[in-house]
Structures are given as structure tokens and as C-alpha cells.
């Protein structure tokens, strides 16, 4: 089976990823589960090398031979775009394709929290979308950018590794920069973006001190900045941002970060009871209590603020998981696996069931 036929099979079966690795058959990830395609032959080193050569340029192959890893995008017109990750393992090439649908779904279509609509229309500040790899961060950000694109006129610059969703100009004008092809690094691209009259800057990944420092500075100077991190909750996100700076600078960064932060959205994906997957969100909005706790270094108290501020649109991940279980969208077992405090989540669920029984009587 040729590569494009394999990728069509991936789309037809509703898979999010396909892995080509010697000496296995192609493996699809469907609803979070890895499913080997046993009816297809085992892949040889020559098979994977031929696929890699087919979808790469001479420059990309040169980069891979030098660095032994490569990330880029690949498109099949009329079908889909794919984010491709390439690495070397045991002397052979391993390819992983992540499906990026051509159509950008709306905030409503994806079932994202409605607060996302308000957040993306803010004039300035820093918003962080976090979660583990494969949790849908890029999809959430794309839906929010699309909402802005349909509702306000702004100049948006994105810096991505690689570019995934393609945004046409609607009310906004949008420049999308690919790390590697269009720019050499996130932090340098951020500096130059600030000279390009931007209203909104989207950073695909805030992975190092120069990038995070420049992003905070950009938010301080009146821009709306969005970025992602691989953190699992809001408290950990704040700690990660602060801890990346030298100890002597951390108190100043706490002050700056508390002033520019607008929101942290932490998301994870769970299998739906009836098939497919659904996202659970932890939402922290930077009200005065949150800003004070960040300034004072009391991040351990942030979950309490979120739990007590549901009327303002905040919620902890456990609160989101409780709602999904009560709504019969996910099983209790799956929710407990995603919770950072399963014992507390179980007590919340049991209390909810007991309360429902009392009300039923």
C-alpha cells in the first residue's frame, strides 16, 4: 500500500495518528488506542525510507541526516494535512503522522468552554493552553483564532512547529511562520513579530527561557499573546513559567507574570462512552485573588480559588471530570485515571450520587 493510500485509510478509520516503524505493520491510534493493522505487511527499513524520501525535500533530508530528527507538515489536497514527526531508532527511520483536518471546527462544534470566545477577544495579555501531547491544544487554539478571525479585525502572527491548521484571512490578516522554513527559533521570531505591527501573537510552544521571557514582554507592551505548554494543571503551569528563570529573577517574574496573565486552560482527552473522545478543561482566570497568589508564590492555593469561583467561569479539572461522569459522557474509571487526586475525585462523585438520591426521595 502506498503512503497516500495509508494516510487515506487513517482518515477513513477516524484515526488521529499513524505510526510507521520497523518491524511492525502500520499502527493507527483510534480514540486514544493503538491498533496494529494486522492485515497489512510488516514494514521494512526500505519501506519507511521510501515513504520518508517521498514526502521530504532535499533540504529536509539533509537536516535529518545531520540531526537525526525532523518535524514538518505534509498535505494531500482535498483530504487532509498531517503533522509529521521523524526520528531515528535502532538505525532505521520512524515516522509518526498526526491528522490535522482541513476544516477548522468552531468553538461550539468542538464543545469548548464558552469562555474561550471572550478570552480570544481580549485586547491584550497572556493566555496559555496546556496539556499533555495529543490532548488537542492545537485544535483548541485554532478554534479560538478562527473565532477572532470571524469577529474582529486584528493582525495575527503565528509561530508554529510545524504549521498545522491553515487560517485564511477573514476579518483578520494572518501571517503563519513555520519553524525551520520561515524562521530559525521561537524567540527570534517573537522579537521580529513585535516589529511587524501585530495585535495577536501565537507561539506554538513556549519551551525555553528566551521564548517565555519575550512572550511576557510582548504581553506587557499591549499585545495579546497565546502559547502552549506541556503541563497538566494551572498550578503546575505557573510554577513551570516561574521556575525556568534564574532564582534571583523569580520574584520580579512573579510580579510581571501576575500582571499580564489572563487565563490558563488545561485540557485532557478522555474516551467517550459511546465512542470518540471528549475534552475536560481546567480553567483559571486571572482575577485579583489569582494574581495575588501568583505574586506571593502560593500556587498551592490556586485550586481552592478555582473551586470557589465557578460563577466567574473557573473550574478545576476534577470539577470538569465530575460533570462528564454525571453526564454519562465518560466512565468513572477513565475520569479517575485522568485526575491528579483520584481519592478526592471519588469522594466528589460519591457525594454527588448520594445527593442525587436524597433529592430523588
Instruction: Express each pLDDT in 104-123 by its tens digit.
Output: 999 999 999 999 999 999 99
Domain boundaries, the chain: 3-100, 107-352
What percent of the chain shows pLDDT beyond 70?
97
Q: Alpha-carbon distance 304 to 254, whole Å?
A: 19
**Separation CA 242–CA 240 (nearest Å):** 6
Q: Does position 23 have pLDDT exceeding 50, yes or no?
A: yes
Using an 8 Å Cβ cutoff, are 82 and 72 in contact?
no
Q: What is the pLDDT of residue 189?
A: 93
Place of cell 503512503: 3
Query: Cα(11)–Cα(297) distance, rounded to whole angstroms?
Result: 46
pLDDT at 352: 64
Give the chain's mean pLDDT.
Answer: 93
Mean pLDDT of the 289-301 span:
97
Is the Cβ–Cβ distance between 253 and 245 less than 8 Å?
yes
% of the chain exceeding 90 in pLDDT: 87
Closest CA to 48 of 94, 115, 1: 94
Global confidence as pTM = 0.88
For 211-268, the pLDDT digits (tens) are 999 999 999 999 999 999 999 999 999 999 999 999 999 999 999 999 999 999 999 9
Asked whether this chain's domains 3-100 and 107-352 adopt the same fold, the reply is no
Please list the residues that pair with 127 across neighbouring strands: 226, 263
CATH, domain range 107-352:
3.40.50.300
| pLDDT score of 289 more than 80 | yes
Range 31-46 burial, b when 16+ CB lie within 10 A, else e? eeeeeebeeeeebeee
Question: Does the pLDDT value for residue 184 go beyond 90?
Answer: no
Pick the CATH number of 3-100 from 3.20.20.70, 1.20.1290.10, 3.40.980.10, 3.30.450.90: 3.30.450.90
Query: What gap in Å lies between CA 137 and CA 194, rounded to an integer?
Result: 24
Residues 257 and 241: beta-carbon distance below 8 Å:
yes
* Residue 356: other Cβ atoms inside 10 A: 11
Does residue 15 have a cis bond before it (omega within 30 degrees)?
Answer: no
As a whole number of angstroms, the distance between CA 252 and CA 249 comes to 6
Q: What is the pLDDT of residues 55-94, one digit of tens each?
A: 999 999 999 999 999 999 999 998 999 999 999 999 999 9
* pLDDT confidence of residue 353: 57
Amino acid at each position: 500500500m502506498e503512503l497516500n493510500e495509508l494516510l487515506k485509510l487513517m482518515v477513513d478509520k477516524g484515526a488521529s495518528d499513524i505510526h510507521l516503524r520497523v518491524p511492525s505493520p502500520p499502527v493507527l491510534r483510534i480514540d486514544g488506542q493503538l491498533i496494529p493493522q494486522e492485515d497489512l505487511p510488516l514494514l521494512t527499513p526500505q519501506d519507511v525510507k521510501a515513504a520518508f524520501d517521498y514526502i521530504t525535500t532535499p533540504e529536509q533530508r539533509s537536516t535529518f541526516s545531520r540531526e537525526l530528527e525532523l518535524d514538518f507538515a505534509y498535505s494531500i489536497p482535498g483530504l487532509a494535512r498531517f503533522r509529521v514527526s521523524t526520528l531515528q531508532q535502532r538505525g532505521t527511520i520512524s515516522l509518526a503522522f498526526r491528522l490535522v483536518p482541513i476544516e477548522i471546527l468552531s468553538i461550539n462544534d468542538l464543545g469548548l468552554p464558552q469562555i474561550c470566545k471572550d478570552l480570544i477577544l481580549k485586547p491584550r495579555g497572556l493566555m496559555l493552553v496546556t496539556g499533555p501531547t495529543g490532548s488537542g491544544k492545537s485544535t483548541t487554539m485554532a478554534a479560538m483564532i478562527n473565532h477572532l478571525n470571524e469577529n474582529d479585525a486584528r493582525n495575527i502572527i503565528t509561530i508554529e512547529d510545524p504549521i498545522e491548521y491553515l487560517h485564511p484571512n477573514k476579518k483578520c490578516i494572518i501571517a503563519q511562520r513555520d519553524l525551520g522554513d520561515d524562521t530559525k527559533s521561537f524567540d527570534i521570531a517573537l522579537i521580529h513579530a513585535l516589529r511587524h505591527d501585530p495585535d495577536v501573537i501565537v507561539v506554538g510552544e513556549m519551551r525555553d527561557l528566551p521564548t517565555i521571557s519575550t512572550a511576557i514582554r510582548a504581553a506587557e507592551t499591549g499585545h495579546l499573546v497565546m502559547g502552549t505548554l506541556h503541563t497538566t494543571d494551572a498550578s503546575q503551569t505557573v510554577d513551570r513559567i516561574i521556575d525556568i528563570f534564574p532564582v534571583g529573577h523569580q520574584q520580579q517574574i512573579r510580579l510581571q507574570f501576575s500582571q499580564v496573565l489572563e487565563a490558563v486552560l488545561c485540557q485532557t482527552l478522555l474516551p467517550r462512552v459511546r465512542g470518540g473522545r471528549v475534552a475536560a478543561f481546567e480553567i483559571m482566570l486571572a482575577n485579583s485573588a489569582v494574581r495575588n497568589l501568583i505574586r506571593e508564590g502560593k500556587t498551592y492555593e490556586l485550586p481552592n480559588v478555582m473551586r470557589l469561583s465557578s460563577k466567574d467561569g473557573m473550574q478545576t479539572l476534577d470539577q470538569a471530570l465530575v460533570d462528564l461522569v454525571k453526564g454519562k459522557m465518560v466512565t468513572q474509571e477513565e475520569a479517575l485515571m485522568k485526575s491528579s487526586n483520584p481519592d478526592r475525585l471519588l469522594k466528589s462523585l460519591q457525594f454527588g450520587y448520594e445527593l442525587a438520591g436524597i433529592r430523588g426521595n
